[in-house]
Amino acid sequence: MPSLKLLCPHLPDDLVRIADRALAKNPRQRFESAQTFSTALSRVFDGLKYTEQLIVDRERLDMIASVSFFDEFTTSSINELLTATTWVQFKPGDVIISEGDIDDTFYVIVSGQAEVSRSGRSLRTLSVGDCFGEVGFIAQRKRDVTVKANSELMLMKVNTALMDQTSEQCQAQYYKAIATSLVKRLSSAQDAVTAGEA
C-alpha cells in the first residue's frame, strides 16, 4: 500500500507517519494499543492546532517556577509533565471552553487572566496558578461553564490520554494539586455565601 503522503501530499508529515503506522501491513509495526494510538493522535492534533504557539522548554520551566499550582511538584515530575502537556496561547475575548462541550481537557493558567461565566453571567476571574476544566477531566461530564480570555493568556493543557502515560508519582502530584485547588475554590465560595448572609 502506498504511503498516505503520495495520496494526500498536503497532509502534515507527523499525521502521515501515524496513519502509515496504523495501517502497516505487519501487525508488529502498528500501535500497541488503542491508547497509544489515541495519545499519538492527540499530540499531533495539539501540535497542528497550536504550532505557532510552541514555547521552548527552558522558558516553560522558568514560567512554571512562579505558578503556585506546581509548588509541591518534584523537578522530575515537572519535567515529565512537560512531555504530557501542550502549551497554548489565547487573545483577549477568545473562548477556551464553552458550556455544553464534552471534553476531557484540563488547563492551568501560566500567565494572564480568564473570566468564568454561566448562562452569560460572570462568576469569577481566574489568574496565574488557577486551573479549570477539572470536572470534564476527572468525570468526563459536559462543561457547565464558559471560560474566556480576559487578556493575553498562556495555558498549560493536558487531557486524560496524555496524563495516563505519566508515572504514578506524577499523576499523584497532579491530582493532589487539582484537589487542593478545588478545596480553595470551595472555601472561597463558602466564604462568599457566608458574607452574603451576614
Domains of the chain: 53-185 (2.60.120.10)
The Cβ-side half-sphere exposure at 72, using a 13 Å CA radius, reads: 14
Cα-based torsion angle of the residue sequence 189, 129, 66, 171 in order, rounded to the nearest 10 degrees: 110
Cell 484540563 -> residue? 106
Q: What's the confidence (pLDDT) of residue 154?
A: 93
Residue 160, C-alpha cell as written in the block: 486524560
Q: What's the confidence (pLDDT) of residue 108?
A: 92
- Coil, strand, or helix at residue 106? strand
Below-50 pLDDT ranges, the chain? 52-53
- What span, in angstroms and rounded, lies between the C-alpha atoms of 150 and 113? 5
Per DSSP, which regions of the chain are E strands?
Answer: 86-90, 95-97, 105-111, 114-118, 121-126, 131-132, 146-149, 153-159
Q: What's the confidence (pLDDT) of residue 47?
A: 64
CB atoms within 10 A of CB 175: 14
Contact in structure between 87 and 157 (CB atoms under 8 Å) = yes
- Nearest by Cα to 163 from 80, 53, 102: 80
Q: What's the confidence (pLDDT) of residue 52?
A: 45
Residue ranges of the alpha helices (H) in 50-119?
57-64, 75-84
pTM of the entire structure? 0.66
